[in-house]
């Protein structure tokens, strides 16, 4: 069994063949998909999709790139919706992106803080997107009592990874791990505690080899997971699935 912990199949890139993509995922052994929202409009599309398919779950969050969409009303609506939509299993993606820096840092920080406060209140796990911002992220997270933290599509250093593991944060690996240039990520993977690792596609982005350059989809998770298993003898898909089930209380 495979669980895709992070996909965006609600986006336009799948409008022409979403049903087929979902069928291919099931045929490839993907038994659960966490479909992650990242902006106001997409959050509701993600929930609608999760309500159509038993094995698809949804999350709600405002990505750092979309931080300008945030206001108090957006936060209230997230709280209200989470309370009445049982398929919403986490908040996020939320976080800090100082690599792209599409939004001012102060705004990214305050929007993240506001969402962490909601996650604490609702006792939901959080999916964190963090690029080149681990100092600020690691400073902020302990100010909140959070059920579970997932560092999605982790691309930080081994030192940063160790801080995360020491606090019990889960870590998700994408197709990036299959890329020839990803030597340092493979080092992080080799050091990752077995009980904290999960796998994700982040589709339509980041397809694993041999589909690099194409649109990614949940069925390709198979290639990422086989590659992870080839790197570590103690890793198998049932451990990754068990971790995902625990992380999101599926
Ligand atoms: Zn992300
Ligand atoms: Zn994402």
Residue closest to 128 by CA, chosen among 185, 63, 43: 63
- 12: which 2 tokens? 């336009």
- Nearest ligand for residue 216 CA: 2
Question: What's residue 70's pLDDT?
Answer: 98
State the distance from the centre of ligand 2 to the C-alpha of 63, rounded, in angstroms. Answer: 8
- Taking the centre of ligand 2 as the mean of its atom positions, its distance from the CA of residue 72, in whole angstroms, is 23
Instruction: Calculate how far, in angstroms, residue 152's C-alpha sits from the geometric centre of ligand 1.
Output: 6
User: How far away, in angstroms, is 73 Cα from ligand 1 center?
Assistant: 23
Separation CA 141–CA 221 (nearest Å): 29
Of 136, 167, 142, 169, which Cα lies nearest the Cα of 154? 169
The ligand that comes nearest to the alpha carbon of residue 59 is: 2
**What is residue 247's predicted lDDT score, i.e. its pLDDT?**
98
Cα(6) to centroid(ligand 2), Å: 6
**Which residues are close to ligand 1, an ion, with C-beta < 5 A?**
129
Compute the distance from residue 202 Cα to the ligand 2 centre, in Å. Answer: 5
Q: What confidence score (pLDDT) does residue 41 get?
A: 97
pLDDT of residue 237: 96
> Which ligand has an atom closest to residue 201 CA?
2
Residue tagged 């049982």 (tokens): 86
Ligand nearest to the CA of 131: 1
Q: How far is CA 40 from CA 64, 68, 112, 135, 218, in A?
A: 12, 11, 15, 27, 23
Enter the DSSP assignment of 144. Answer: S
Helix or strand holding residue 116 (H, E): helix 105-122
pLDDT of residue 231: 98
Pick the ligand that lies closest to the CA of residue 5. Answer: 2
pLDDT value of residue 224: 98
List the domains of the chain with CATH numbers: 2-248 (3.20.20.140)
Q: Answer for the pair 112, 133: CB distance below 8 angstroms, yes or no.
A: no
Q: What is the pLDDT of residue 7?
A: 98
Number of neighbouring beta carbons within 10 Å of residue 71? 12
Which of 100, 79, 106, 93 has the alpha carbon at shortest distance from 35?
93
CA of 115 to the centre of ligand 1 (A): 15
3-state secondary structure of 207: coil
Q: What whole-number distance in Å separates Cα of residue 66 and Cα of residue 245?
A: 28
At 42 the pLDDT is: 98
Mean pLDDT of each 10-residue bin along the chain, 250 residues long: 97 98 98 98 98 98 98 98 98 97 97 98 98 98 97 97 98 98 98 98 97 96 98 97 98
pLDDT at residue number 11: 98
Cα(164) to centroid of ligand 1, in Å? 17
From start to end of 174-219, where are the E strands?
Answer: 197-199
Residue 155: partners with Cβ closer than 8 Å, 6 or more residues away? 131, 176, 185
Distance from Cα 93 to the centre of ligand 1, integer Å: 6
Q: How far away, in angstroms, is 32 Cα from ligand 2 center?
A: 16
């Amino acid at each position: 069994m495979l669980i895709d912990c992070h996909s965006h199949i609600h986006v336009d890139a799948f409008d022409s063949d979403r049903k087929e993509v979902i069928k291919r995922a099931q045929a490839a052994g993907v038994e659960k998909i966490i479909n992650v929202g990242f902006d106001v409009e997409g959050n509701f599309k993600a929930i609608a999709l999760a309500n159509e398919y038993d094995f698809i779950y949804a999350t709600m969050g405002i990505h750092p790139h979309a931080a300008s969409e945030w206001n108090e009303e957006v936060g209230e609506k997230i709280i209200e919706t989470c309370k009445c939509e049982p398929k919403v299993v986490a908040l996020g993606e939320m976080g800090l992106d100082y690599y792209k820096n599409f939004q001012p840092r102060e705004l990214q920080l305050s929007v993240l803080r506001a969402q962490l406060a909601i996650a604490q209140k609702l006792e939901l796990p959080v999916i964190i997107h963090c690029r080149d911002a681990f100092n600020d992220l690691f400073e902020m997270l302990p100010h909140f009592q959070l059920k579970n933290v997932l560092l999605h599509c982790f691309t930080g250093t081994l030192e940063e990874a160790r801080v995360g593991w020491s606090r019990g944060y889960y870590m998700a690996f994408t197709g990036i791990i299959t890329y020839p240039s990803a030597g340092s990520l493979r080092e992080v993977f080799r050091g990752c505690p077995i009980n904290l690792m999960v796998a994700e596609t982040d589709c339509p982005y980041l397809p694993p080899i041999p589909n690099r350059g194409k649109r990614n989809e949940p069925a390709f998770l198979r290639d990422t997971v086989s590659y992870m298993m080839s790197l570590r003898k103690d890793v198998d898909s049932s451990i990754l699935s068990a971790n995902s089930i625990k992380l999101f209380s599926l």
